[in-house]
Chains A and B, each alone.
Chain A
């Protein structure tokens, strides 16, 4: 049996999204910036997509800027708010310790320029509260950038409450909503979100395309200079096919949010209950406020890469936050941020589901994972030391 359970990494494109792209390769091939009718037809399609994406987020068309994906949108949002703040002498930014690297590395860059960054602690419930944000806001705070939902551990943050706090304090609020868009109901106006980043391939759209919502009146700074596309804020000929695919995928996902999340959350809960039976394991992430498809565990005494390889051989595609899989020497910063020590963080497993996963697939995972964990524990000197009392169990 083959089970794709890595939908937080990327999703398979939906038929609807593929079908929406094809005409752009064959018929609507014009450059939206061209004056002639072929170009203008493409321009019409582009603007139609913009208004449809805007409708899914509850904003105006002119507040949507198409980008190459979530990372670019995060970079542009944060840099823009920082430059805006700098002009007023405000150089303090609030974020969380478990943001995506697209946010954290951009903040690192600003820190080198002299910005002061406060990263909110996420150990309590593996989440943050609006109160934490409120307490951290200062006179010189120019931006709060807090993710909508965490990509590794699935915690869904109290965005509407944080939005309210930011509005009251008059601080720009950006959210990296890459994992949330298409999976959770989002209304940027009701939630007082000033800027939001999204990425198409997380909701069955194509890779290499995303969008930045930026509230009207907030000045954007260009990250990519050149032509006057995207109201002069993002140069480069628009990737119209990808934008069409993203729009179709987003509409489809948003239409089905309730039915999909009900189905996926049921599969998730079954997995969490089953994997929680494995001794010396722990669920990562907020147990209550959680993405419908996210299951994240740490298993003591084993290492994540070997776990993934063995699962892959049994047909299960998953992911891990171990150092060996991250390509660096440290395990995932997210797991460390929620308080998992290195030894335990190395033994992490993330399964991320979508509506195409089935109960049979979940049963297969529940059969295979405990076996593989046991196989690896049986050859682990750490596990032996835990069992013989030479080491103390952490989980």
Chain B
């Protein structure tokens, strides 16, 4: 079946970092059940380093694979590096996504940014609001 790359299928069938962090330092949730995709990211942060990350996803195969891949890409990275993660990088790491599934990688990027924003808010860390697009460049749900 050539709907998805082998990498996508690998992350879909063996998703990394599935679950919840009960005492997370930042939690981000994007999407809605109406449009068929919800992603939730939990971060554990120590000294600006992401020491643990977990995800939960309601969605299609590429949504699950995108969140799995994105968590792997930020694990152990600094929060600044995590802020730099783009949906394109996630899609590329998965050896590409079908055009109509690119929004899944967008959701992954935004879920992580949302979780970081939550962390900044909780700790009164100032940030540039423009860095958090808040779903605006994804028109999937409209």
CA distance in complex: A302, B64 (Å): 12
Q: Are A343 and B60 in contact (CB under 8 A)?
A: no
A323-364 vs B, CB cutoff 8 Å, 1 = contact: the mask equals 110010101000000000011001000000000000000000
CA distance in complex: A329, B57 (Å): 18
Of chain A, the residue at the smallest CB distance from B56 is: A381
Of chain A, the residue at the smallest CB distance from B104 is: A324
Q: Are B36 and A324 in contact (CB under 8 A)?
A: yes
> How many B residues have CB within 8 A of the partner chain?
29
* Interface footprint category on A: 20 to 34
Instruction: Report the stretch among B10-18, B89-97, B118-126 that lies at the interface.
Output: B10-18
Q: Are B58 and A381 in contact (CB under 8 A)?
A: yes
Q: Are B58 and A302 in contact (CB under 8 A)?
A: yes
Does A382 lie at the interface of the complex (its beta carbon under 8 Å from any beta carbon of B)? Answer: yes
Q: Are B64 and A306 in contact (CB under 8 A)?
A: yes
B37-67 vs A, CB cutoff 8 Å, 1 = contact: the mask equals 1111000000000000001111111011000
Does B34 lie at the interface of the complex (its beta carbon under 8 Å from any beta carbon of A)? Answer: yes
Q: Are A303 and B34 in contact (CB under 8 A)?
A: no
Determine chain A's interface SS by DSSP, over half rule: helix
A-facing residues in B100-116 (Cβ within 8 Å): 100
Q: Find chain A residues with CB under 8 A from B141 CB.
A: 329
CB of B43, distance to nearest CB on chain A (Å): 15
A370-385 vs B, CB cutoff 8 Å, 1 = contact: the mask equals 0000000011111110
Whether A343 contacts B18 in the complex (CB less than 8 A), given A306-B61, A322-B60, comes out as no
Does B77 lie at the interface of the complex (its beta carbon under 8 Å from any beta carbon of A)? Answer: no
B1-36 vs A, CB cutoff 8 Å, 1 = contact: the mask equals 100000001001101001110000000010001111
Q: Are A327 and B58 in contact (CB under 8 A)?
A: no
A230-258 vs B, CB cutoff 8 Å, 1 = contact: the mask equals 00000000000000000000000000000
Q: Are A379 and B57 in contact (CB under 8 A)?
A: yes
CB of B71, distance to nearest CB on chain A (Å): 12
CA distance in complex: A306, B13 (Å): 10
Of chain B, the residue at the smallest CB distance from A327 is: B100
Of A309, A378, A379, A381, the contact of B61 (CB 8 Å cutoff): A309
Q: Find chain B residues with CB under 8 A from A305 CB.
A: 60-61
Q: Are B29 and A381 in contact (CB under 8 A)?
A: yes
A277-306 vs B, CB cutoff 8 Å, 1 = contact: the mask equals 000000000000000000000000111011
CA distance in complex: A379, B15 (Å): 9
CA distance in complex: A57, B58 (Å): 46
Of A327, A342, A381, A383, the contact of B36 (CB 8 Å cutoff): A342
* Interface-centre pick from A301, A324, A343, A381 (highest chain B CB count, 10 A): A381
Q: Are A383 and B58 in contact (CB under 8 A)?
A: yes
Q: Are B58 and A322 in contact (CB under 8 A)?
A: no
CA distance in complex: A305, B36 (Å): 10
Q: Are B36 and A301 in contact (CB under 8 A)?
A: no
Whether A379 contacts B64 in the complex (CB less than 8 A), given A309-B12, A384-B20, A384-B56, comes out as yes
Q: Are B60 and A379 in contact (CB under 8 A)?
A: no
Q: Are B29 and A329 in contact (CB under 8 A)?
A: no
Q: Find chain B residues with CB under 8 A from A381 CB.
A: 29, 38-40, 56-58
Q: Find chain A residues with CB under 8 A from B13 CB.
A: 310, 313
Task: List residues of chain A with CB under 8 Å of any chain B CB.
Answer: 301-303, 305-306, 309-310, 312-313, 322-324, 327, 329, 331, 342-343, 346, 378-384
* Other A-B pairs, 20, CB within 8 Å; known A312-B1, A380-B57: A303-B58, A303-B59, A306-B12, A306-B59, A306-B60, A309-B12, A322-B60, A323-B35, A324-B36, A324-B59, A327-B100, A331-B36, A342-B34, A343-B33, A379-B56, A379-B57, A381-B38, A381-B40, A381-B56, A381-B57
Rank and list the top 4 A-B pairs by shortest CB-CB distance, nearest first. A305-B60, A324-B60, A343-B33, A381-B56
Task: List residues of chain B with CB under 8 Å of any chain A CB.
Answer: 1, 9, 12-13, 15, 18-20, 29, 33-40, 55-61, 63-64, 100, 140-141
A-B contact pairs, 15 of them (CB 8 A): A302-B58, A303-B58, A303-B63, A306-B59, A306-B60, A309-B12, A322-B60, A329-B35, A329-B36, A342-B35, A342-B36, A379-B15, A379-B64, A381-B56, A382-B38
